[in-house]
Structure 1
Amino acid sequence: MEYTNGGVPRPPGRSAFARALRDAINARPVTLSWLQRQLKARGNRVSMATLSYWRSGSRRPEGAQSLAALADIEDLLGLEDAALSRLLRPNRTGPLGVSGFPIDHREIEQAVIDAYTAMGSPYPDTSRELTTHSVTDVDERGNVSFCSTRSIVQSTTGTIHAIPFLEIMPGLPSPAPILRAVSGGRFTRHYSHPGGEVHGALFELDLPLEAPDTAMVEWSVEYPPGSPPSRDTGHAVGRQCRELLVWTRFHPDAVPDWCEEVVETPDGRSVSPVPLTRGTSVHQVRRAFGPGALQLRWGYGPADAEVQPG
């Protein structure tokens, strides 16, 4: 990100776009009035003032009509397709909200800090999840067997090259799960906390991510033999997420007798029943959620009975 002398962020990409537009106009060479007439003839009514703003960098094309005009400008100036539009990166991250550990558990947070330190990542890191879809499969014994997660991640400041992803299992010490990078990068460093409740790896992105750019990533988690049986799942975010979806899919032979939703934030914890009335899955959706954790847990027999998974 570029900065003015006063320390005020200057939107990345705006100066590059304006410079490219000026160079293309000068190389032709044409005037803004000629460009305006040609656009008008093509049905794009763009004012001289707007074209001047674009050329100077004080404004930039936004909205469907302006972007359609920009495509015609590229053609009129003899440029390649998207030669100008690809320079229009988003100029802001949007509201970031507060950043915080998603659950009220100091020992686990310290274990997470230890994990970040071991993987060479600052805590908290400067990425955030804009949209996350987490899908968990439950086996025929009613236990979690596999989880796949897709996220649109964003750099909130500076440039990031890698993002730590963690599996947090409070009260359930476990061997390290098998984390696989599916798309968008690769796992480089792996870490397991001595307590066995925090495991993770560093997801190295295919390309560096400069604020406020975004990238799509996907990874999966598989639980090896010897892992303790688990009948809860969910996803936690350290910053506000625009959309969080947790989808739990049960084996047809292990549809639970009851499910309940657990929502945990730094401010508290709430538990509410979730009726399983449609098919063999439960999906939970939250918008503008976080920091916090959205979880689902389930069981067989009376909901108030302490049933050990097996």
Structure 2
Amino acid sequence: MTDEAILQGQATTPFAGALSAAIRDRGMTLARLQERLAAHGNPVSRATLSYWRSGARRPEGAQSLAAVADLEQLLGLDDGALLQLLGPTQRTGPLGPVAFPFDEDPTEQRVRETFLAMGAAYPDPTRELTIHAVTDVGPEGHVRRRTARVLVQATSGVVTAVPYVEISTGEPTPPPGFEALGGGRISKRYTHPSNEVHGFLFELERPITSPETMLIEWAVTYPPEIEVSDGSGYGVAFQARELLLWTRFDPAWLPDWCDEIEETPAGRVVTPRMLHGARSLHAVRRGFGPGALSMGWGRGERPTTD
């Protein structure tokens, strides 16, 4: 069967349909198109062009996208006419190793038990591509609210819900309040018998199939009896593209010292930070994980560590 015969199938995507129509309208053969692309420094096989036209595959990667831009010119189309039809990438990208973001074995076991109690898989088949987490410290110096806006991606299969946990290792606490702010709802809550791990299941407003993404937002509020006063952070099991922490202090309570703490399989790094007259601090990492990033603070002398 010739390439041209293969191309008679129905186009299955907007990109494939537009490419197919442009090739037909220009009276161009795949062989000729391949030759002209190669002459322009964008070699693409006829089989690949066939896949693109039928919708069996889509262009991915810098070299393929450069070839698509060249196709627009060769087929007499406006700049971006084909590229804009591709939409977001369909690749998950490199996932990297998966690891529990903290090194306490009992804590990992409690997290696993909490996930399973909520009906979630462990490890969870999603990763967080972008995380913007905000912590608000009240006038008594205690954390009162944390919000997180997260771009989650399905890494395998179909995902309907994402589990999250609040951890207070060595300090049993009553459960905080969990609230969904966007992208879905909280369908389950669970407190581990240790009272050191509190979980919730965030049900997405629609299922996503790998490698689709969805933006969600949730909040955790701490009642007065939970006196979280010395830090807040965020852990990721996979590598995240961006992790941003923003800690905001009430003007009635400003710390004397702050630390930025990074914990990864490579070790623990503590970096002193200063407010310099501001009322907030932020820390950002790109291409970070697995691991945890946190901010610690206090009044008086900074504790010494061995």
TM-score (norm 2): 0.78
Distance 1:294 1:22 in 2: 45
Contact kept, 8 Å, 2:115 with 2:199, in 1: the verdict is: no
Partner of 2:12: 16
Aligned to 2:260: 261
In the alignment, the residues of structure 1 paired with residue 27 and residue 51 of structure 2 have an alpha-carbon distance, to the nearest angstrom, of 11
Aligned residue number for residue 42 of structure 1:
none
Cα distance change on mapping 1:67 and 1:139 into 2, 3 Å: farther
User: Alpha carbons of 1:305 and 1:268: their partners in 2 closer, same or farther (altered >3 Å)?
Assistant: closer
Shift in Å at residue 172 of structure 1?
A: 2.1
C-alpha RMSD of matched pairs (Å): 3.7
Whole-angstrom CA distance in 2 between matches of 1:87 and 1:68? 15
Matched residue of 1:102: which SS? coil
Structure 2 counterpart of 1:249: 248
1:9 matched to which residue of 2?
Answer: none
2-structure distance, mates of 1:133, 1:291:
16
Contact 2:131–2:242 at 8 Å: present in 1 too? yes
Structure 2 matches for 1:18-33, cutoff 5 A?
21=17, 25=21, 30=25, 32-33=27-28
Q: CA–CA distance in 1 between the matches of 2:43 and 2:97?
A: 41
In 1, distance between residues paired with 2:103 and 2:160? 29
Residue 55, structure 1, aligned to residue 53, structure 2: yes
Instruction: Provide the rounded CA distance (Å) in 2 between the counterparts of 1:222 and 1:20.
Output: 48
Q: Which amino acid aligns with 1:17?
A: T
Q: Under a length normalisation based on structure 1, what TM-score does the superposition of the two structures give? A: 0.77
1:233-268 per-residue CA deviation (whole Å, 9 max, x = no partner) reads: 011111111110111001111110001122222443
- Residue 95 of structure 1: aligned partner: 94
1:126 is matched with 125
Structure 1 residues 23 and 291, CA gap change in structure 2 (3 angstroms): closer
Give the aligned residue type for 2:276.
Answer: T
Aligned positions, number: 278
Cα gap change, 1:21/1:268 in structure 2, threshold over 3 Å: closer, same or farther?
same
How big is the shift at 1:222? 0.4
- In structure 1, how many angstroms separate the alpha carbons of the residues matched to 2:113 and 2:58? 45
Change (3 A) 1:83 1:254: same
Q: Quick one: which amino acid aligns to residue 133 of structure 2?
A: S
Using a 3 Å threshold, how does the CA distance of structure 1 residues 227 and 32 change in structure 2: closer, same or farther? farther
SS state of the match for residue 254, structure 1?
coil
Q: Distance in 2 between matches of 1:266 and 1:113?
A: 19
Offset at residue 169 of structure 1 (A): 1.3
Q: CA deviation at 1:90?
A: 2.1
Q: Could you tell which deviates more after superposition, 266-275 or 281-290?
A: 266-275
**1: CA distance, partners of 2:241 / 2:15:** 33
Deviation at 1:18? 7.9
CA contact (8 A) 2:153 2:213 kept: yes
Contact 1:188–1:203 (CA under 8 A) maintained in structure 2: yes
Give yes or no for contact 1:118–1:191 (8 Å, CA) kept in 2: yes
CA contact (8 A) 1:101 1:266 kept: no
Greater alpha carbon shift after TM alignment, 296-305 vs 93-102: 296-305
Q: Is contact 1:93–1:212 with CA below 8 Å preserved after alignment?
A: yes
Percent identical residues? 44
Measured in 1, the distance between the counterparts of 2:18 and 2:231 equals 57
Q: How many angstroms apart in 1 are the aligned matches of 2:106 and 2:272? A: 28
Hey, what's the Cα distance between the residues in 1 that align with 2:67 and 2:229? 52
Give the alignment of 1:104-123 within 5 angstroms: 104-123=103-122
Q: 1:211 to 1:168 in 2, by over 3 A?
A: same
Cα distance in 2 for residues equivalent to 1:68 and 1:134:
41
